[in-house]
Amino acid sequence: MSTRLNALLFLSLTSTLTACGFHPHGAYSLPTELKNVYFEGGSPALRDQMQQQLRISHAQLVPLQNASMVIKLFGEQFQRRGVSLSERGKTNEYELIYRVEYELATPKDAVLLARQPLEIRRDYYNDQQAILARDNEETVLRSEMAQQVVKTLLNQARFTLEKSEK
């Protein structure tokens, strides 16, 4: 009896959450045109971030022939530069710069949004005493920057589609 009650409670909770518009953290409500995306170019790390974000949003990366939207990336690059120095001449603070250019198109190569630059910047403190923490912090920041690029690309794609419908 309790198994049946638990199942009923679970079903009612699930239907209530979906009815109120609940989405998992980070999920986007994507239009139909963004449910099947072909992603051209980009590093494996950025491709993984895109695939993860699409999966959370109930969409997927697909081959070109199955795509309803094409996101093309050009000239992806990370740059790290010193911002400030310590008294001993060692770098105290770094700035990470992630640059990419992108274009949105249909699978038949009709341009929806012409080539655009996208740049994400982050600063971090270089703790001279904690070398492992410093390296880990940069890795985490690079991952967060890739997430930001993906979210910006999907937001821009959604906005472009909404604008073209009007």
pLDDT of residue 83: 77
pLDDT (average), residues 4-31: 55
Spatial distance between the Cα atoms of 33 and 38, rounded to a whole number of angstroms? 11
pLDDT of residue 21: 47
**Whether the Cβ atoms of residue 17 and residue 52 lie closer than 8 Å to each other:** no
Q: Kindly report the CATH number that applies to the domain delimited by 28-165.
A: 3.30.160.150
pLDDT in tens, 128-163: 666 666 667 888 999 999 999 999 999 999 999 888
pLDDT in tens, 42-90: 999 999 999 999 999 999 999 999 999 999 999 999 999 887 777 777 7
Burial class (CB in 10 A: 0-12, 13-18, 19+), 43: middle
Give the chain's length: 166
User: Of 46, 54, 17, 72, which Cα lies nearest the Cα of 146?
Assistant: 46
Query: Does 23 have pLDDT greater than 50?
Result: no
Write the CB contacts of 4 (distance below 8 Å, at least 6 apart in sequence). none
pLDDT of residue 134: 62
Question: Taking the domains of the chain in order of start, what are their residue ranges?
Answer: 28-165
Reported pTM: 0.76
